Amino acid sequence: MTVALHLAPAAGGPVIPNFGGASNCVVQNHQFCMSWFTHNFNSVFKPALIQHIELTAIAVGCGMAIAFAAAIFAYKQSWFGTPFSLLSAFLYTIPSLALFELLVQVTGINRFTAEIGLVSYTLLILFRNTLTGLQGVPPAVIEASRAMGYTPRQTLFRVEIPLATPAIMAGVRIATVTTISLATVAAYIGAGGLGKLIFDAIQSGFKTEFVAAGAMAIALAIIADILLVLIQRAITPWSRHRVQTF
């Protein structure tokens, strides 16, 4: 059922995909052929990039939904924290390729399987950070909130969750970057994205494709990280000032 990849380069040397009029650089398989890259960006790299972003966004979104609900539940019912933590830690420790391969036996080779795996990896960090964020709200603030007549629900949504946002966002950042990385491996089981380009390149031995796809994945991760930091700063204007707590 697994996609079979023969990973040793073909005996007669690397097979260079010939898109017609291959430049000298490509034919000789140099490290990185700029012209080939720009020439094929729209047809090859852009769709893969978009696919990769989609993959990541769906995984982090679902992971956030699950982990967030679980964390709030654990915040209110403290017994829940440890079991869920252990479960997500367990999932997290399983090496990605192995997890994907095992999942494939159950749900087949498709994007859905990949998403299940990716979501599992986000759970630990999102859950842990959200819960820690909630638990880090100064007790004095909660006391003030209850004393002035906020219902428990109002306290949760207007006070506790907003104050947990920095920790939550930190978790989302880490989860996003991690997922971008794991999504490259997920291509192995048919998820597409930049990983697919890497695997193709491994098969064909075409260096430019390696380097380009790899560099794009790295760039995507770093850009996503920076963007999320900016978003975090924008939605927590108060954290720029030192808050006095007793």
Partner 1 sequence: MVKRYPGRDRPAVEGLSFAVAPGEICVLIGPSGCGKTTALKMVNRLISISDGDITIDGQNVRSLGLTQLRRGIGYVFQQIGLFPHMSVEHNIGSVPRLLGWSKTRIRERASELLELVGLDPVGDLKRYPGEFSGGQQQRIGVARAMAADPQIMLMDEPFGAIDPIARDRLQNDFLRLHRQVRKTVIFVTHDIDEALKMGDKIAIMRDGQLVQLATADELLAAPADEFVARFVGEDRGLKRLRVRSVRDLELDPAVSGDAAVTSLMTDTSLHTALSSMLAEGLTQINVVDEDGRPIGSVRFDAIARLVAPPETAAAAPAAAESSSR
Partner 2 sequence: MRSSDPLTFFFNNLSLFESKVIAHLELSFAAVGVAILIAIPLGAWLGHIHRGSFLAISVSNIGRALPSLAVIAIGIGILGIGFLNTMVALVILAGPVILTNIYVAVAEVDPDAVQAARAMGMTPLVVLWRVELPLAMPLIFAGVRTATVYVVATATLATFAGGGGLGDIIVNEPTYGTAGVIAGSLMITVLAFAVDGLLAIVQNRITPYPLRKQGRQAKVEPLANAAAWQAPGNR
Rounded CA gap, 182 and 60, in Å? 12
- Regarding 238 and contact with partner 1 (CB under 8 A), the answer is yes
Kindly write out the interface string for residues 114-153 of this chain, putting x where it contacts partner 1 by CB under 8 A and - elsewhere.
------------------------xxxxxxxxxxxxxx--
Compute the distance between CA of residue 9 and CA of residue 74 in angstroms, rounded to an integer: 51
Q: Is the separation of the CB atoms in 75 and 163 below 8 Å?
A: no
Q: Which stretch binds partner 2 (CB under 8 A): 20-28, 43-51, 77-85, 190-198?
A: 190-198
**Which of these segments, 9-17, 120-128, 222-230, 231-239, binds partner 1 (CB under 8 A)?**
231-239
Q: Does 232 bind partner 1 (CB under 8 A)?
A: no
Binders of partner 2 in range 113-142 (CB under 8 A): 121, 124-125, 128-129, 132
Question: What are 37's two structure tokens?
Answer: 């890259």
* Residue 218 Cβ vs partner 2, minimum distance, rounded to whole Å: 5
Helices 111-135 and 96-107 pack at an angle, to 10 degrees, of 120
Q: Does 211 bind partner 1 (CB under 8 A)?
A: no
At closest approach, how far in Å is the CB of 204 from partner 2? 12
Please say whether the beta carbons of 128 and 149 come within 8 A: no
- Do residues 63 and 122 touch, judged by C-beta distance below 8 A? yes
